[in-house]
């Protein structure tokens, strides 16, 4: 049984303040629209525009748009470099657990060196390894096309929410 004395000893939470209901609703709308748009574009074009890490990209782009991880440079370049790392390792080393680990490590190193860290992009090599997709086409669709779609919608919706708020920097 918890006592209020225990809670007093733990102190106040360092968690960020809860966002306003309007911010929560517009963030949820943005994420839903971005994933729906990339899914629809996949069907309409016959090419994949959607991959699982884009869900996490939407959390950042719409829920934490001020974060360096949510800026266009990080979203686009982070996904491109991480996917390239996955493609290279898959091609030259093959598909095994050690190669998958190496690909994620290489992806992180490339994002750090290029100042484009985007946490969701760290999963891109695993998408490649799971699907054993080793085509450069993957860099265009879903990676580039999907990332640009998310950034474009984030620009529209975040600036509709607060003019001039997104992005903090483009490149």
Q: What is the DSSP letter of 140?
A: I
Do the domain assignments include residue 9? no
Do the domain assignments include residue 2? no
Domain count of the chain? 1
| Alpha helices, DSSP H, located in 1-96 | 4-10, 21-45, 53-58, 72, 78-92
Residue 18 and residue 10 in contact, taking contact as beta carbons nearer than 8 Å = no
Instruction: Name residues of the chain where pLDDT drops below 70.
Output: 1-11, 132-133
The reported pLDDT for the residue numbered 12 is: 77
Q: Whole-prediction pTM value?
A: 0.90
Q: Please give the residue range of the domain that contains residue 140.
A: 22-161
Do the domain assignments include residue 98? yes
Do the domain assignments include residue 68? yes
Do the domain assignments include residue 79? yes
The reported pLDDT for the residue numbered 131 is: 87
Comparing C-alpha atoms, which of 167, 171, 118, 168 is closest to residue 143? 118
- Residue 110 CA to residue 124 CA, distance in Å, equals 13
Do the domain assignments include residue 11? no
Do the domain assignments include residue 63? yes
Do the domain assignments include residue 39? yes
The reported pLDDT for the residue numbered 9 is: 61
pLDDT over 90, % of the chain: 84
Torsion of CA 83, 128, 154, 29, to 10 degrees: -170
The reported pLDDT for the residue numbered 8 is: 57
Torsion of CA 55, 61, 66, 69, to 10 degrees: 60
Question: How far, in Å, are 42, 114, 138, 152, 158 from residue 60 at the CA level?
Answer: 22, 19, 23, 14, 12
Q: Give the model confidence (pLDDT) of 127-143 as tens digits.
A: 999 986 678 999 999 99
């Amino acid at each position: 049984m918890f006592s209020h004395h225990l809670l007093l000893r733990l102190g106040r939470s360092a968690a960020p303040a809860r966002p306003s209901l309007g911010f929560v609703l517009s963030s949820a709308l943005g994420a839903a629209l971005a994933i729906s748009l990339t899914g629809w574009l996949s069907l309409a074009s016959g090419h994949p525009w959607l991959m699982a890490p884009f869900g996490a990209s939407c959390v950042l782009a719409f829920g934490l748009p001020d974060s360096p991880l949510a800026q266009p440079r990080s979203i686009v370049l982070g996904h491109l470099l991480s996917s390239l790392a996955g493609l290279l390792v898959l091609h030259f080393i093959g598909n095994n657990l050690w190669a998958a680990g190496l690909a994620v490590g290489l992806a992180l190193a490339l994002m750090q060196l290029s100042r484009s860290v985007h946490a969701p992009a760290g999963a891109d090599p695993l998408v490649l390894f799971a699907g054993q997709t080793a085509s450069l086409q993957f860099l265009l669709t879903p990676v580039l096309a999907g990332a640009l779609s998310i950034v474009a919608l984030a620009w529209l919706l975040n600036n509709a929410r607060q003019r001039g708020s997104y992005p903090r920097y483009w490149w």
